[in-house]
């Protein structure tokens, strides 16, 4: 079984970048833009996780021959 840790690093990297952008925007007094950046980052990561879960379920399905 191949473990792909690059997706974990991508999600962590997106989280770090979004946190930095959020902090900078909040310090500039643009709280509403900071919240929108956080929401957009969350949606991007959510789509990545959904894609990974789809791949996981397809692997489980093929493992138990439910084709």
What confidence tens digit (pLDDT) does each residue in 1-31 have?
466 788 899 999 999 999 999 999 999 999 9
pTM (whole model) above 0.85: no
Q: For residue 39, what are its two tokens?
A: 């929401």
DSSP tag of 36: H
Boundaries of every domain in the chain: 6-63
DSSP tag of 65: T
Q: How confident is the model over 27-62, as pLDDT tens digits? A: 999 999 999 999 999 999 999 999 999 988 888 888
Please report the pLDDT score of residue 66 as a whole number. 65
Please report the pLDDT score of residue 43 as a whole number. 97
Q: For residue 43, what are its two tokens?
A: 């949606």
Q: For residue 29, what are its two tokens?
A: 């007094």
């Amino acid at each position: 079984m191949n473990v792909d840790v690059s997706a974990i690093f991508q999600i962590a990297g997106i989280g770090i970048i979004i946190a930095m952008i959020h902090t900078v925007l909040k310090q500039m007094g643009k709280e509403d833009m900071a919240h929108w950046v956080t929401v957009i980052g969350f949606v991007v990561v959510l789509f990545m996780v959904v894609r990974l879960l789809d791949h996981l379920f397809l692997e489980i399905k093929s493992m138990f021959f439910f084709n």
